[in-house]
Amino acid sequence: MNDPHVTSSAKLNRGNGNNTEKYAPAQSGVKHFDTEDIANAVNIGLCVVNAAGKVLLWNDWISKHSGIKETDALNQPLEQVFSEQISPAFLSALKNSLTHKLPVVLSTALHRTPLPLYHEFELGIQQPRMYQSISMTPLRSQHNEPCCLIQVTDSSTSIKREKILRSHSEILKKEATTDGLTDICNRRFFDAHYEIAVADAKRQKYPLAIFMVDIDFFKPYNDHYGHLAGDAVIKQVANTLKLQLSRATDIVARYGGEEFVLVMPHLAQDIAEKFAEKLRAAVFNLAIPHIKSPSFHQITISIGVCSGIPEKNDNLLNKADTALYQAKQKGRNQCVSISLCETTEYLEQ
């Protein structure tokens, strides 16, 4: 016998193997929530302004992060509600949305803090503004009045994450192009840079200077003073060479072991020779003791220089290396310079 107290909707789907009771949809036309209840429940800022710029809706989220009560904001011009300045970009975007009836999204990269909103608003306490993502959507009121819905979200976490990722990217990029011991460019970076520098010098017809630098008698120094002292010398020499550079286009790289290479565009041979001597003197003036150096009893360097306007088959690096070999053969602690017009066979005589 049917129970008269059980409605048909409650009996719907009984006997389907579970105890869940399913009810028919609510009767249409019944209002269950207020718009303000929903606006205040969401975890974003909601604000509606009319064509005159007056506030029609101001939810609890904005009140919390601005310190401005809803009663103080409603029916007031938005520009006058805040005691601090609203960014001109925000006001321009709002005007465009109301005028052209088109949605607008403010770029977080360009407009990070357009409204004076704070994570924890405290009156009289100076603090940085909250990073914000803002979108504007045109709509019409029940009185057919053009309005604009402004949605504000806290983008601080995403921007912090973006900064961390960018920082990690820069660190990885530096690690990929920087020598770990000396903090100057590494061989990988030099190889790529050298090709570009030569190609530019060929195309634009300007002289390019390459310097090959080697620490004299480094192995005896390493064997006598130890590897830690050897690493310290490599770092000191690298830093000294780097300090001599003054142009952004010039680079110094660790070529391998105790050997370095410098690339300097727009440097004619005579100027390159003078600069090589400056490099040699700078390291000599460090006066680092080296009792295993038979000639000088201190750390010195030998330098090979090649400068000129490269042509199709020219190899400045090979010729600079040959010049370095000549400097070693002539007694070390000196510079040997060659131009591109000189041949390897001539130098090796």
* CA distance linking residue 125 with residue 158, whole number of Å: 25
Residue type at position 45: G
Q: Measured in whole angstroms, how far is the alpha carbon of residue 39 from the centre of its chain?
A: 38
The tokens for 241 are: 């060479």
* CA distance linking residue 202 with residue 255, whole number of Å: 23
Going by C-alpha positions, the residue among 261, 264, 243, 239 that lies closest to residue 252 is: 261
Q: Which helix (H) or strand (E) holds 89?
A: helix 88-100
Strand pairing of 335-339 and 301-308? parallel
Instruction: Sort 28 into a burial class: Cβ within 10 Å, 0-12 / 13-18 / 19+.
Output: exposed
Q: Which helix (H) or strand (E) holds 224?
A: helix 218-225
Task: Name the active-site residue from 70, 84, 170, 258.
Answer: 258
DSSP letter string, 25-69: PPPTT-----HHHHHHHSSSEEEEEETT-BEEEE-HHHHHHH---
Q: Is 258 a catalytic residue?
A: yes
3-class DSSP state of 265: strand
Instruction: Sort 199 into a burial class: Cβ within 10 Å, 0-12 / 13-18 / 19+.
Output: exposed
DSSP letter string, 165-212: HHHHHHHHHHHHHB-TTTSSB-HHHHHHHHHHHHHHHHHHT--EEEEE
* CA distance linking residue 77 with residue 99, whole number of Å: 17
Sequence-distant (≥ 6) Cβ neighbours of residue 42 within 8 angstroms: 59, 61
Catalytic residues: 258
